[in-house]
Amino acid sequence: MPTIAIVGAGPGMGLAIARTFGSRGFDVALIARTKEKLEALIGRLGQEGITAAAFPADVLDRPSLSAALDAAAERFGGIDVLEYSPAPHSPVPGLTMAVPSEVTVDNLQPQIAYNLYGAVTAAGAVLPAMRAAGAGTLLFTTGGGSVHPIPMLGNVNAAAAALRNWVLNLHNELAGSGVYAAHVAINTWIGEGGPEGFPTATPEQIAPLYWDLHERRDQPEVIFNG
C-alpha cells in the first residue's frame, strides 16, 4: 500500500488529511511531539479501517524529525506522500507572535526553524528515495498570511512566506522528475471560534484539496479561501 507521512498531525487538519488518504487505500504515518495524542488518532483511524502508526518527533529537533521519517519509511516500506503542516494548537516554547515593527532576530529565528527548517529537513529525509523511484508527492501547508500577511503575525508570516518561496522553487526544480511539490495556503480560520468576520472552514472541507493536488499534479499552489 502507498503511505502518507503527516508532519504536525493533530485532531484537526492532520486527522482529516489522514482520513482523506486512508480511505483511498493509504497507510498513514503520524508525526508530532506528543505520543499520547498520536495514539488517540491511531485509535480513531483504526476504527475506520485505516492503518496508522505514530512516530513522535519535534520539528524543532531536526535529527528527531529525520529519524521519525526514516522509521516511518522502514515501517511501511517507503513514503509516497509527505504532508508538512506543524500548526501549534498549544503554546510551543520559544514561539511567539510579533507585529512587523516588533520583529527581532530572536522572535523570528524560532519561526523560521519551525516552518522553513523543519520543512527542509522533512523533505530531505524523503526526497532521495522519491527521486530514485521517479515518483512522490510533497505538500506543505501555511496560513494565508504567507501570501497576504496580517500585522499581528509579522514574524509568523515572514517565516511562512520563506517556506512558500522555497516550495514554489522546489516545484520548479522537480518538474519532469516524477516528484511533485506544492504549497497550500489556508486563508480561513479552521473550525469554530474564529475572529468575527473572518471566514471559517472545517478540516473536512479543506482536506480533499490535498488529494486533488496529489492526483492532478498540475499546479504549484492552492490558496484556500473557503
* CATH number of the domain to which 28 belongs: 3.40.50.720
Q: What pLDDT was estimated at residue 72? A: 98
Residue whose C-alpha is closest to residue 221's, from 185, 173, 178 = 185
Task: State residue 4's pLDDT score.
Answer: 98
Domain extent for 26: 3-224
131/30 Cα distance (integer angstroms): 22
On the question of pLDDT at 94 being above 80, the answer is: no
* Mean pLDDT across 107-117: 95
Strands 81-84 and 136-143 turn out to be parallel
- 152-167 pLDDT, tens digit per residue, is 999 999 999 999 999 9
Question: Which DSSP state fits 113?
Answer: I
Q: What is the pLDDT of residue 9?
A: 94
Provide the edge-to-edge strand list for the sheet that holds 179-186: 52-54, 27-31, 3-7, 81-84, 136-143, 179-186, 221-224
168: left (phi over 0), alpha (psi -120 to 50) or beta: alpha
Q: Say what the pLDDT of residue 59 is.
A: 93
Q: Kindly indicate the confidence band of residue 193, based on its pLDDT and cuts at 50, 70 and 90.
A: low
What are the residues whose beta carbons fall under 8 Å from the beta carbon of 90, sequence distance 6 or more? none
| Stretch 17-22: mean pLDDT | 98
pLDDT for the residue 105: 96
pTM: 0.94
The sign of the dihedral angle between the CA atoms of 169, 209, 30, 88 is positive
Q: What is the pLDDT of residues 54-91, one digit of tens each?
A: 999 999 999 999 999 999 999 999 999 999 998 765 56
Domain count, the chain: 1
